Each structure stands twice: as structure tokens, then as C-alpha cells.
Structure 1
Amino acid sequence: MSIKELLDKYHVAAPRYTSYPTVPYWDASSFDQEKWKGAVTASFQASNAADGISIYIHLPFCESLCTYCGCNTRITKNHKVEEPYIAAVLQEWSLYRELFDENPRIKELHLGGGTPTFFSPENLETLIRGIFKKADLHPQAAFSFEAHPGNTSTAHLDVLHQLGFKRLSLGVQDFDPVVQFMINRIQSPQEVERVTLQARERGYLSVNYDLIYGLPHQRLEGLMDTVNTVLRLKPDRIAFYSYAHVPWVKPGQRRYSQQDLPSAELKQQLYEAGRRMLKNGGYSEVGMDHFALEHDALFEAEKQGKLHRNFMGYTEQYSRLMIGLGVSSISDSWTGFAQNVKKVEDYVEMTASGQIPVVKGHLLSATDLVLRQHILNLMCHGKTSWSDPGLQNEALFAGIQRMKELQQDGLVEIRENEIQVTVSGKRFLRNICMALDARLWENQPQTQLFSLAG
């Protein structure tokens, strides 16, 4: 089967599998706040001493709306919102700290958004120092933040570097002016280069660029020009991923229609051209949609079999417990997930009243835990095995039967106790993992819940 035929066949709605079960299939009936606290406490006690914990902080504010964005944002130019929001985040953190019988050892900390650099350097310092109170840093601690090229100042870079941040990510997407106009994300190569060089001058060890293919009015020539500029600036790692068109979730995407998006054929050309240029430029593929230079920690993690994936995406840092702070943030105790309220006002009110502001979640069943491990293995290592009886169950074997068609198409090799993703199959990781998604197959959606794979 040709690559075009494969793409046509597997161009279906599929989760990105930053978790299993995926959010639409969480079972609310098995979840409440007290059970969640118990899951967090148990995970912390089991893992803090050795692995530490990860923290994700969602900073939702942006001065303008990027219409492609699927994140939870609040658009405002009123910077008076910064201090009350930081106070609420620190109150939420104090509520989690009450569950711990010793200082948490922070191994990973990421600021996402929204636009973290919407906040002043001084307020970001207040936030981070507040998180560090009554906490220790793990010897392998790694901190990162998302930076907007248009508003990231040298003061931002200085303050965060002094606090231990060594990595940042810049949302480039595409430098084509027509595409930038459509997605309302106007930034020049010069702005991106400025932040990149200033970060390196201050000792940041890794700079990531986000690039997206499949955006409205995107052209092959324009994307190739973007990638050539990126190759000249040589970021340490690159996330090159498919635009997720979900206007039923993000109304801002209604600025354009399906007709404005590249055809499936052009989208494939965009991907293949970008991938080829990145590989020829010295980048190695890591996991799904990621590329890294050989000195980067993400490349080393995959090489050593230590790559991990959670709600923050791919990371070289494994921790069993991840605490999500801020509106809409998702926490992961390994045995459970919990998501915070999505509205800023509700979040502030709940934290002020002494409630951990979670509104929905899921406690994993024994079957969930087995499938989660196999899906994680496939996403991070391109293979999984079940020689251990503890990693076997009926749902797994049903998923393997569904995967037989993928094997016939050359995307996986199924052996006695192992699944191995082929070189061709790496392009279809989402589809491969979907075969093991028991909850999706038990309750197939009547409407589209996920973006299209490929």
C-alpha cells in the first residue's frame, strides 16, 4: 500500500494520547475530591523520595487571540489580573502541600498558557519563589516555560534563568505573512531570533520551536521558507505537528472554514517536506511529532529508553505524580486524573474557599492501568511487550486483534509477546494506539471528539 493510500485510510479522528483514558472517556462516577486527595497522597508517598514530582502551571492570559490555539485562554490587556491570579495559584499549591508528609522534591516545572510572558518578570518571580517555599529541588530538576517572541524581554529571561529555568519554547508556527494573518499570530523571524540569541547568551540549554502544518492558506513554498529560517536559527528541539481543527471546541477557529485548510494531499506534502528538511538539517525524530539535535536531552532520553509522555507532552523527566495548577490544568497521580475548573472567576473562588479546584476526573481501573502502560510504551519507545502476566488482560488481547489490520498494512509487527512499530508506522502512532483504546471501542463517539490524525 502506498503512503498516499495509507494516509487516506488512516486519516480519521484520533486522540493524541497524552493520557489513557483520554479526557472524553473519563468516568465521573468513580471520582470525587476525597478520592482524588487519596490518590495524590498515595502517589506522593510512593514516589517523592526517589522520583520527585512534576508541576505544570497554566497561565491563561493573552493580549490577543491566536485563532488556531486549542488551549484555555483569557484575552485581556488588563495586567491587573496578574497578582490575584498568582495568589490563587499559590493558594492551590498550599492546599496540595497540606496532603504531603514531607517537602515535595520538584523535578520538573513548566509554565504554559496562554502566554506566561504576559506576566511581568517580577510577578513570575513571586510565583516561582512561592512554589519553592516548603519544597526541595530534585538533583535532576529541569524547568521550562513557553515564551511569546513578541513580549519576552531580557528581564523575563534573566529572572527565570536565575530561578533555575534552562529551557524555553517559542511558538513559531509559520512565518508566512498570509498564514500569520489568518491565525492572528504576527511575529517576525527577527523577533524569534532575538529571543533565541538572548536566551543562549544567558545560558539556556535548550530552545524549542513549535511549527504547525495544516494551517489555513498554508503553502508548500511558505512552509519550506519557514523551515529554512528555522534551520538557520538551529533550535535545540522542534515540535512539528498537525493543526487540530476543532471549531466546535474553540470558536476562534471559525474565522476560517475547512475549505481554507490544505487538502489531505497538500497536508501530506507539507509534512513530508518539513520532515525531510529537518532530518537533512541534522535533527533526529523523537517519539511522535518531535525532532531534536543529538546534544539535546530529549534525544538522549529516547536513545536511553527513558522518554516519557504526560499532559505536558514528551519529556525526558519521569515522575509518577504531576500536579497541575491554574485554570483547566490536569493533574496525574498515575492511578487517577483530575482537571481544574476552566473559568478564572470560579478558580479564584474555589481556592479562596479552601477547595482544591478540581471539577472532574477519573480513577483508573486495573484494565485502564494495563492499557495505559502499553499505550505509553508505544508512544515513547515504539514497542511494548506483555511477557509479564501483570501486563496482560482481555482488553489488551482484543486490541491486538484490532491491530492485525495495521500489521497487514506494514505499520506494526506483532510477535508472540511484543508489538513493534515499523519505520512506516511511526507516522501513524495515534492510529496504532487507538487500536488498544478499549474505552473508545466500547463507546464509539456519535460526533467528532478528536482532531484528524495525519
Structure 2
Amino acid sequence: MACLTDIEWSEALIRRFDTAGPRYTSYPTADRFAPEFDEAAYRGHLAERAQASAKPPLSIYVHLPFCESLCYFCACNKIITRDHSRSAEYLGYLLREIAMVAPEMGGERHVSQLHLGGGTPTFFTLAELARLTDTLRRHLDFAPNAELSVEIDPRTVTADTLSELGALGFNRTSFGVQDFDPAVQQAVNRIQPLAMVERALGASRDAGFESINVDLIYGLPRQTVASFDRTLDEVVRLAPDRIALYNYAHLPSRFKAQRLIDASELPRAEDRLRIFMRATQRLLDAGYVYIGLDHFAKPDDELSRALRAGSLHRNFQGYTTKAECDLVGFGVSAIGKIGRSYCQSTRSVKTYYERLDEGKLPVERGLTLSADDVLRREIVMTLMCSMPLQYRAIEARHDIEFARYFEDELRALAPLVEAELVEMNEEGIRILPKGRLFVRACAMMFDQYLGRPSAASYSKLI
């Protein structure tokens, strides 16, 4: 994989291809899920997979929705409360769901990944998290090298908490930092001084966590190129193993919390672009490898090694080193992927409890993929990982003639080829180093759903 440190992306190039589009943690994307996909459909796909001769490993996602305070930028499904007794009730239902689903997965299914997301997972007590992990281990077989990751709010943890999480088997942490500037933190209602974050990262290292990720967000209110540069100074000094540099999408019509943000304080489009370009260059200069989309990792990180080896993968949890997995989601709003299907649980805690009380799985919507969906999913995910797309391999697996099947899509790629972002020849398609920032634009060419009505509001590519 070519080095990006010598590449310059002009503002004109970015503006030309900086359209709105999906992030492609799945294809088709979640806004295409339909309520016609119900519990019976989900159970049917579980049964089909359980009876298959070849069963892929499992990736488990558990959604823990509670937070003590509201971050104005947040678009996650969360419940703001200081009543910690609510976690015990939720956990009881969560364990019930796990007990209902686990027997239907079939035997010989090793768990290669577990991720606790939220919300704030550490809203739950250590005893509750221990009960959760014990239940998962009792029902499922975890691989010896399984990745166990947990999202951390630095305001909610101590060194003892992180040490206990390590004792439970967690080996990866992800910290929500966003920005170190006090004015920005005040504008988004998330006050967490640098010293607090530094102590949490240090405690993670002392506890033996193998990988530490830091989330940053650009485009927040009161941010400037200079202020975010100071945040980057500290992030580079703290040297996390991975960094996610997210673009803030201000969609107050969809996310009520964002209505509390003063839109007049958001940086102008020109400044957002300069913040992004400056941040990308700073991280590359600091030695981080650009993994894709908005993710960076140290050269010796597993993600970087997978990128070099051509074995990178992508799913609802982002970029991963693990081979294609079935993803099982537990908890409100959790999304899963079983074979050629997607499934999402209800977003309402009340409905979640009611369905489980009735002995039913809390399925709200989903999708059974057609043969064309499966074909396009392989293409989209290959491109999103900046892997070469080889026509013959696709043709053999899907019994198509690539050039004829995708005649319109290949023609639509011409502007990306002309801009030296993508290379096409008789063998396949390759994302060029200069095009790594624009993989979403390339993947969009193969998305047959984009021309259809959708309730989704996509973010800009950059």
C-alpha cells in the first residue's frame, strides 16, 4: 500500500467530489431496512445459518444506552438519566434476549469480537458488566484471541474501573475525546479536561489494554483551525494506537440534542475543510497510517498490518482485522447481520421490554438480501477497504459478466479515473493512493438504492 505522506489533496479536488453519501458500514445501508422483516424472518435466517455446513465466526455487539448527561452533538440512541437503578432492569432483559438467541445460532460458533457500545457502557456497575460477560461466555464460545472492546467516557472511569475491565477480559478501549478546547467542550456540553483524559489513557495502558482508540470530531461549534491544531498536539503526544477523525453532521431536524447547539457558532465550510486537511496531514506526519474513511492507526497496529496484507474488513463496528463474521446485536436499536440478512431491534426501551415479556425477540425491521444485493455488497466493501477489485473472482463467485452487468456503473466512474483517484483496466478496479479519501464516492457508483426515496440524511464525504 503506497504511502500517503507525499500526496497533496487540493481544495478544488475535495470540493469536486465532496458530495453527501453513506458511510457503508453495510450494504444495503440501514435506511433501507423494512418493517416487513420481522421476528419470524430473523429466526429463519438464524436457523438457515445454524444448519449450514460452513459457519463463520461471530461478532457480538451489545448496546448499553444509558448516559448521565447529554452531549449536544450526539446522534446515538441513548437515554439520559442519573437513576442508576435503571441499568439493573435493562440488564435483566438483555440477559433474557441473549438466552433466547444463543441456542438458535448453532454449535461450533466461535466469538472473535465483542463490543460494548452506547450510551455509556460504564454507566453500568462493574458487577453488572461482569454478569453480562459471564452470561455471554456461558452461552457462547469465545476464541482465545477474541477482541473484547468497550467504549469509555473518560468522565465515568477510574484506574480501578479500567483494571477491573481488563480482569473481565476486555483488551481494547475506545475513548470519546472529540476536542480538548474548553470553549468547544462547553458548546457541546461535554466538559472533560485534558488531564482527565490523560489519566484515563495512562490507566488503560497500566491495565494492559492491547489497543487504545481515541475519537475526535471536527466541525463542532467554536472550533477553528488553530484550536483543533492544539488538540492534535495533545493527541499526538498521548499517542493512542488508533484515531478516528469524524466529521460532525449537524442534523437538528433528526437529532433533538443537536438543537441545543448554536448553529451560528459552527465553523464555515471552508474552515471545516481546512481543519480536516490540516488534521489529516498532522496525523500522517506523526507516523499514523491512513486506514480509510476517517480512521488512522500506528504502523504496527493490527489494522495497519491488515491494510498492507490486503486482509482488511468492514462491518457495523467499522474497520476490522477479523474475517467475514456473522454479527449478532443485543439490546435496543442493535443491528445484526446473519448470512444474507440484516436485522435491527426496536429503538424503544419500553417496546423492547414488552416484546421480551411476551417471549418474542424485539425485532423492529431488517432486510433479506437479494442476489444482486450480495454481489454489490462484496464490491462496495472491497472498495471501502481500498482493496483491488478483481473482475474474474467476482464473475466466478456470482456467475456474471462484470463489464456487461455493471456497464453503467463503470461509465459513471470515468470522472474518478480522470482525476487519478481510481484506476480501471481489463482486470479490475483499484483505488489509487490519491483516491483513498474518496472511497465512499467510488462505492456509491455501485449502490443501486441511492436513486430511490429514503428518509436518511447522509453526511458529506469529507
TM-score computed with the length of structure 1 as normaliser: 0.94
1:430 matches 2:440: yes
Which residue of the other structure, out of 31, 39, 50, is the alignment partner of 2:45?
Answer: 39
| CA gap 1:101/1:295 in 2 versus in 1, 3 angstroms | same
1:409 matches 2:411: no
Question: How far 1:209 sits from its partner (Å)?
Answer: 0.3
Q: Answer yes or no: is the 8 Å Cα contact 1:327–1:343 preserved in 2.
A: yes
2:87 is paired with a residue whose SS is helix
Which residue of the other structure, out of 87, 92, 97, is the alignment partner of 1:87?
Answer: 92
Q: For residue 422 of structure 2, what is the amino acid of its counterpart? A: V
How far apart in 2 are the matches of 1:47 and 1:379?
Answer: 29
Which residue of the other structure, out of 139, 147, 150, is the alignment partner of 1:142?
Answer: 147
Aligned to 1:16: 23
Aligned to 1:265: 270
| CA gap 1:381/1:13 in 2 versus in 1, 3 angstroms | closer
Aligned to 2:241: 236
Out of 107-116 and 240-249, give the one that drifted further.
240-249
* Structural mapping, 1:45-124, within 5 Å: 45-46=51-52, 51-102=56-107, 104-124=109-129
2:177 is paired with a residue whose SS is strand
How far apart in 2 are the matches of 1:315 and 1:156?
Answer: 26
Aligned to 1:295: 300
Q: Answer yes or no: is the 8 Å Cα contact 1:224–1:274 preserved in 2.
A: yes
Question: How far 1:407 sits from its partner (Å)?
Answer: 1.6
How far apart in 2 are the matches of 1:448 and 1:292?
Answer: 30
How far apart in 1 are the matches of 2:456 and 2:107?
Answer: 44
* Structural mapping, 1:22-421, within 5 Å: 22-29=29-36, 31-46=37-52, 51-102=56-107, 104-256=109-261, 258-388=263-393, 389=395, 390-391=397-398, 392=400, 396-421=406-431
Q: Answer yes or no: is the 8 Å Cα contact 2:39–2:362 preserved in 1.
A: no
How far apart in 1 are the matches of 2:406 and 2:83?
Answer: 51
- CA deviations on 1:43-89 (whole Å, 9 max, x unpaired) are 3454876x420100000100111111111000000000111111111
How far apart in 1 are the matches of 2:50 and 2:86?
Answer: 32
How far apart in 1 are the matches of 2:186 and 2:54?
Answer: 46
Q: Answer yes or no: is the 8 Å Cα contact 2:18–2:460 preserved in 1.
A: yes
1:155 is paired with a residue whose SS is helix
Aligned Cα root-mean-square deviation (Å)? 1.9
How far apart in 2 are the matches of 1:448 and 1:130?
Answer: 36
Q: Answer yes or no: is the 8 Å Cα contact 1:374–1:385 preserved in 2.
A: no
How far apart in 2 are the matches of 1:384 and 1:258?
Answer: 41
| CA gap 1:38/1:221 in 2 versus in 1, 3 angstroms | same
2:154 is paired with a residue whose SS is coil
- CA deviations on 1:160-194 (whole Å, 9 max, x unpaired) are 21121110000111011111111111101111111
How far apart in 1 are the matches of 2:269 and 2:456?
Answer: 18
Which residue of the other structure, out of 452, 457, 461, is the alignment partner of 1:449?
Answer: 457
- CA deviations on 1:91-113 (whole Å, 9 max, x unpaired) are 11111113133264211000000
Question: How far 1:235 sits from its partner (Å)?
Answer: 0.5
How far apart in 1 are the matches of 2:405 and 2:173?
Answer: 39
Q: For residue 26 of structure 1, what is the amino acid of its counterpart? A: F
Identify unmatched segments of 5+ residues in structure 2.
1-7
Q: Answer yes or no: is the 8 Å Cα contact 2:310–2:387 preserved in 1.
A: no
| CA gap 1:6/1:448 in 2 versus in 1, 3 angstroms | farther
Q: When the two structures are aligned, how many residues end up with a matched partner?
A: 450
Out of 144-153 and 241-250, give the one that drifted further.
241-250
Q: Answer yes or no: is the 8 Å Cα contact 1:283–1:291 preserved in 2.
A: yes
| CA gap 1:210/1:47 in 2 versus in 1, 3 angstroms | farther
Question: How far 1:291 sits from its partner (Å)?
Answer: 0.8
Q: Answer yes or no: is the 8 Å Cα contact 1:407–1:413 preserved in 2.
A: yes
Question: How far 1:134 sits from its partner (Å)?
Answer: 2.8
Question: How far 1:219 sits from its partner (Å)?
Answer: 0.6
| CA gap 1:71/1:44 in 2 versus in 1, 3 angstroms | farther
2:75 is paired with a residue whose SS is coil
- CA deviations on 1:243-293 (whole Å, 9 max, x unpaired) are 122222211111235543222221111111111111111211112211111
Q: Answer yes or no: is the 8 Å Cα contact 1:341–1:357 preserved in 2.
A: yes
How far apart in 2 are the matches of 1:337 and 1:331?
Answer: 6
1:424 is paired with a residue whose SS is helix
Q: Answer yes or no: is the 8 Å Cα contact 1:284–1:299 preserved in 2.
A: yes
How far apart in 2 are the matches of 1:212 and 1:332?
Answer: 28
Which residue of the other structure, out of 3, 12, 37, is the alignment partner of 2:10?
Answer: 3
TM-score computed with the length of structure 2 as normaliser: 0.93
Out of 248-257 and 141-150, give the one that drifted further.
248-257
Aligned to 2:5: none
Q: Answer yes or no: is the 8 Å Cα contact 2:49–2:105 preserved in 1.
A: no
2:71 is paired with a residue whose SS is coil
| CA gap 1:264/1:46 in 2 versus in 1, 3 angstroms | farther
2:459 is paired with a residue whose SS is coil
2:339 is paired with a residue whose SS is coil
Over the matched positions of the two proteins, sequence identity in percent amounts to 37
Q: Answer yes or no: is the 8 Å Cα contact 2:122–2:156 preserved in 1.
A: yes
| CA gap 1:46/1:422 in 2 versus in 1, 3 angstroms | same
